[in-house]
Structure 1
Amino acid sequence: MYILFLIILFGAIAALMASGAFQDLDNQIILWFESIRLPFLNDVMLALTDFGISALLVPIMLIFSVVLFMYKRYYSIMMLFLLYLTEKTINHELKGLFARERPAFDHLVVETYYSFPSGHSMNAATIYPFIAYLLVEMIPWLKERQKIVYLITGLCVLAIGISRMYIGVHYLTDVAGGFAIGLALFLICKKIDERLPVIRQK
Structure 2
Amino acid sequence: MSSIKYDSAEFMTSAAKYSQCPADIGSEVAFAGRSNAGKSSAMNTITRNSKLARISKTPGRTQLLNFFTLSGGEYRLVDLPGYGFAKVNKNMKADWEENIGEYMAERLSLKGVVLLMDIRHPLTEFDRMMIDWAVTAEMPLRAVLTKSDKLKKGPAKSTYLKVQAELQSKAPWLSAQMFSSLKKEGVPELNQWITEQLTDVNNEEEPNEESV
**TM-score clears 0.5:** no
What TM-score, normalized to structure 1? 0.27
Q: Which has the higher contact order (CA 8 A, sep 6+)?
A: 1
What TM-score, normalized to structure 2? 0.26
More strand by share: 2
Bigger-Rg structure (1/2): 1
More helix by share: 1
